């Protein structure tokens, strides 16, 4: 069984390693200092289990998971308070609150072992879909992968988001980036006073809106500052009017 | 039913009863139906209207206890006016009923007395009613204020304890116990000294810069146990600065933020520097850390507590220009000027 430990504190990793000594079937294949190394290690080793810290340099543990095509089984290790971690319970992904005892650690391992691998990764998927953004508060940035590089897009740089099959296209001044998420995920995690669902397939940054024009009797289009034309649905038009108080 | 309607209904009922009583009395005294009805209705309508106005006025303005005799003045003045109006109206309407006119004249004083007592009674009653009500509202407001201040106190206590820092440090100690027991011990000591220092200090106190710096060093030592592989510190100050006074725990949140930003905004090594020097007789302290101007914090609300620091400086020194920020491509620097001539 292959395990990867991702934590920015060496001592925090060493306690996990020490506790893992009592599990002879476990092999620690890699240790990572942050999410960047984490993504590489997970893609390279395809571990059966990942111990993951949440607060890390540059990108959080959640953001790192979002960058992976295939979700590994994860046990979170964090010092966040219990209240904040309540969100996890519904998803049965286990989490260890630092500092944790050897007994608690063994229990988490037991829980992981009794879950099938696919069930575990399914849970992480669901966790990322509904609780991660809620847990971190209003998102202020989106992390995407461009080839092998990782790019952090501040929300204010987004022009609009477009549905694209199972993905979304996040359009910025530098071009667009793909991310495997749903439109409704962004509709709920982005600041509602700045982003409006203009159409089933479009979410626009209100700051980037230049004007709204009438096309036919009942249909409108939005023109962004960079010239992009976005169709407006009836409800989308109403939403934007309400947002702009017109 | 809202309050105004309740008052209106009560008023109506009360003056209706008096109208009936007065009418009966007049009928028994041998006056005609017409006279009895008109007299009692006019009298009580005017009084009713006046007492209603008093209550409506009391609703918006209640004279305080020492000025409660105002109520009697108002009642007397209104009673006087009403008697004059009643006298004038009734003598005009029944100008040819000599017996009634004579009766009206002889009962003038009685009518005034009755009106005065009635109005005084109603206004005192109204005053007591509204007084009790405002008292009750004050109680509620006081309870709200107390609750708010308790919550503020609680959150500042939480802030002092910094659960995230505490639990992560305990986790490091847990790891060290097995591998390096002596280091674990010294970290327990440092952590205790640090928290004792935080709890002992009060925000209102002023301490020497040297004392504040020692507290910061303790904090940095603990962080170095956790992040020693990445975190480096540079502390640089001149001879004069050590004895200068500074509000206690003023620099702590700045250094905490610098560490947080430095460690989580940048991969690789982080150098945090603290420098202090004298500038035109004032103490100038600067804290700088590397940062990435391109990146955004993961979520809103993790922003700097800078506004609370400048608020504190304003409360102590009454100046808004003491905190300055300098940024270049890689370094974020906060400087605080601490006036010494106070």
The model's pLDDT over B281-315, given as tens digits with 9 standing for 90+, comes to: 899 999 999 988 776 655 544 445 677 778 778 87
Interface of B with A in 212-231 (CB under 8 A): 225-227, 229
Task: Tell me the pLDDT tens digit for each residue of B135-184.
Answer: 888 888 888 877 776 766 666 666 666 788 899 999 999 999 999 999 99
Q: For residue B263, give the nearest of A15, A57, A136 by CB distance.
A: A57
Q: What is the DSSP code string of B183-251?
A: HHHHHHHHHHHHHHHHHH--TT-EEEHHHHHHHHHHHHHHHHHHHTTTEEEEEEE-GGGGGSEEETTSS
pLDDT at site B250: 84
Is A21 exposed, middle or buried (CB count within 10 Å of its CB: 0-12, 13-18, 19+)? exposed
CB contact under 8 A, A141 and B225: no
Task: List the structure tokens of A88.
Answer: 């996890």
Provide the pLDDT for residue A50.
93
Composition of chain A by helix, strand, coil, percent to 5: 35, 30, 30
- For B185, phi then psi, to 5°, come to -60, -45
pLDDT at B160: 64
Put simply, whether B161 touches A (Cβ < 8 Å) is no
pLDDT at B130: 84
Contact A57 B265 (CB under 8 A): yes
Cα(B327)–Cα(B242) distance, rounded to whole angstroms?
A: 27
| Nearest one of A134, A42, A225, A98 to B174, comparing CA atoms | A98
Give, as one character, the DSSP assignment of residue B2: -
Nearest to A199 by CA among A156, A157, A228, A226: A228
d(CA A190, CA A133): 9
Please tell me the distance from the alpha carbon of residue A238 to that of residue A245, in angstroms, as a whole number.
10
Q: Can you give the three-state secondary structure of B31-93, one letter per residue?
A: CCHHHHHHHHHHHHHHHHHHHHHHHHHHHHCCCCHHHCCHHHHHHHHHHHHHHHHHHHHHHHH
This prediction's pTM: 0.67
Who has greater pLDDT, B158 or B66?
B66
Q: Do A141 and B297 touch (CB under 8 A)?
A: yes
Asked if A57 and B266 count as a contact pair (C-beta separation under 8 A), the reply is: yes
Distance CA B143, CA B253 (A): 32
pLDDT digits (tens, 9 = 90+) for B33-53: 888 888 889 888 888 888 888
Q: What is the DSSP string of B246-306?
A: EETTSSHHHHHHHHHHHHHHSSS-EEEEEEEEEETTEEEEEEEEE--TT---SBTT-S--H
Residue A34 sits at the vertex; the CA angle it makes with A187 and A143, to the nearest 5 degrees, is 20
SS3 A4: strand
Does pLDDT of B57 surpass 80? yes
CA distance A31 to A77: 14
Contact B13, B44 (CB under 8 A): no
Q: How confident is the model at residue B231 (pLDDT cuts 50, 70, 90)?
A: very high
Answer whether B301 sits within 8 Å of A60, measured CB to CB: no
The sign one gets for the Cα dihedral B312, B317, B319, B323 is negative
% of chain B residues with pLDDT over 70? 91
Q: Give the model confidence (pLDDT) of B68-82 as tens digits.
A: 788 888 888 988 998
Average pLDDT over residues B232-237: 94
Contact at CB, B296 and A152, closer than 8 angstroms: yes
A118 or B110: whose pLDDT is higher? Answer: B110
Question: Would the pLDDT of B317 be above 50?
Answer: yes
Judged by a CB distance cut-off of 8 A, whether residue B170 touches chain A is yes
Query: Distance between CA atoms of A191 and A211, rounded to whole angstroms?
Result: 21
The pLDDT value recorded for residue B89 is: 87
User: Can you tell me whether residue A199 is helix, strand or coil?
Assistant: strand
Tell me, what's the pLDDT at B233? 94
Which chain B residues touch A85 with a CB distance below 8 Å?
A: none
- Give dist(CA A169, CA A161) in Å, integer: 6
Q: Alpha carbon of B192 to those of B86, B165, B203: distances in Å?
A: 86, 13, 20
**Residue matched to tokens 């709920």:** A188
C-beta separation of A161 from A169 below 8 A: yes
Interface contact flag, A55 B266, Cβ < 8 Å: no
pLDDT score recorded for residue A16: 96
Asked if residue A222 has a cis previous peptide bond (ω within 30° of 0), the answer is: no
Beta bridge partners of A154: A141
Residues of A in contact with B263 (CB under 8 A): 8, 57
In order along chain A (246 residues), what is the average pLDDT of each group of 10 residues?
94 95 94 94 94 89 86 86 60 80 93 75 68 57 85 88 90 90 83 85 91 85 90 89 82
Structure tokens at B26: 């007049």
Which of B234, B235, B295, B231 shows the shortest CA–CA distance to B269?
B231
Instruction: Using alpha carbons, list the distances in angstroms from residue B323 to B313, B326, B331.
Output: 8, 10, 17
Instruction: For the beta carbon of residue A154, count every other beta carbon within 10 angstroms.
Output: 14
pLDDT confidence of residue A79: 87
Q: Which residues of A touch B229 (CB under 8 A)?
A: 10
A91: closest CA among A55, A122, A137, A135?
A122
Q: Coil, strand, or helix at residue A60?
A: coil
User: What percentage of chain B has pLDDT greater than the value 90?
Assistant: 28
| B282-290 and B323-327 strand pairing | unpaired
């Amino acid at each position: 069984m292959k395990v990867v430990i991702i934590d920015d504190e060496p001592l925090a990793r060493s306690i996990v390693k020490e506790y893992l000594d009592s599990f002879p079937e476990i092999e620690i294949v890699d240790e990572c200092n942050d999410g960047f190394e984490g993504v590489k290690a997970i893609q390279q080793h395809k571990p059966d289990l990942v111990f993951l810290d949440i607060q890390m340099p540059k990108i959080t543990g959640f953001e790192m998971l979002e960058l992976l095509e295939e979700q590994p089984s994860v046990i979170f290790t964090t010092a966040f308070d219990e209240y904040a971690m309540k969100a996890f319970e519904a998803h049965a992904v286990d989490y260890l609150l630092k500092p944790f005892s050897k007994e608690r650690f063994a229990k988490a391992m037991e829980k992981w072992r009794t879950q099938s691998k696919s069930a575990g990764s399914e849970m992480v998927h669901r966790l990322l879909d509904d609780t991660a953004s809620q847990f971190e508060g209003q998102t202020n940035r989106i992390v995407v992968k461009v080839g092998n590089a990782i790019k952090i897009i501040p929300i204010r740089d987004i022009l609009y988001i477009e549905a694209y099959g199972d993905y979304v296209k996040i359009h910025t001044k530098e071009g667009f980036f793909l991310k495997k998420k749903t439109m409704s995920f962004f509709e709920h995690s982005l600041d509602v006073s700045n982003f409006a669902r203009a159409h089933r397939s479009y979410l626009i940054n209100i700051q980037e809106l230049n004007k709204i024009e009438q096309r036919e009797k009942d249909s409108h289009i939005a023109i962004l500052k960079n010239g992009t034309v976005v169709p407006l649905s009836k409800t989308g038009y109403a939403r934007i009017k309400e947002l702009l108080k017109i | 039913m809202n309050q105004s309607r309740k008052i209106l209904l009560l008023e109506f009922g009360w003056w209706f009863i008096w109208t009936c009583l007065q009418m009966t009395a007049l009928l028994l005294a041998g006056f005609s139906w017409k006279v009895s009805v008109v007299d009692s209705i006019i009298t009580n309508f005017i009084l009713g209207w006046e007492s209603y106005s008093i209550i409506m006025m009391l609703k918006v303005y209640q004279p305080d206890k020492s000025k409660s005799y105002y109520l009697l003045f108002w009642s007397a003045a209104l009673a006087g006016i009403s008697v004059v109006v009643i006298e004038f109206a009734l003598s005009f309407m029944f100008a040819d009923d000599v017996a009634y006119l004579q009766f009206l004249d002889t009962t003038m004083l009685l009518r005034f007395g009755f009106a005065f007592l009635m109005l005084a009674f109603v206004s005192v009653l109204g005053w007591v009613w509204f007084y009790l009500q405002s008292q009750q509202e004050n109680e509620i407001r006081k309870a709200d204020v107390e609750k708010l201040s308790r919550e503020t106190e609680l959150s500042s206590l939480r802030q002092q304890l910094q659960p995230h820092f505490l639990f992560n440090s305990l986790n490091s100690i847990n790891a060290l116990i097995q591998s390096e027991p002596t280091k674990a011990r010294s970290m327990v000591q440092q952590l205790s000294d640090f928290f004792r220092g935080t709890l002992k200090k009060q925000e209102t106190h002023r301490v020497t810069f040297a004392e504040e710096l020692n507290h910061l060093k303790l904090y940095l030592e603990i962080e170095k146990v956790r992040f020693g592989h990445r975190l480096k510190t540079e502390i640089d100050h001149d001879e004069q600065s050590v004895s200068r006074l500074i509000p206690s725990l003023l620099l702590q949140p700045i250094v905490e933020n610098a560490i947080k930003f430095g460690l989580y905004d940048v991969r690789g090594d982080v150098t945090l520097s603290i420098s202090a020097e004298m500038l035109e007789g004032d103490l100038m302290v600067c804290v700088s850390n590397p940062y990435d101007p391109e990146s955004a914090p993961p979520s809103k609300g993790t922003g700097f507590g800078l506004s609370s620091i400048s608020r504190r400086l304003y409360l102590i020194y009454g100046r808004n220009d003491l905190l300055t920020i300098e940024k270049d491509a890689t370094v974020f620097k906060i400087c605080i000027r601490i006036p010494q001539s106070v």
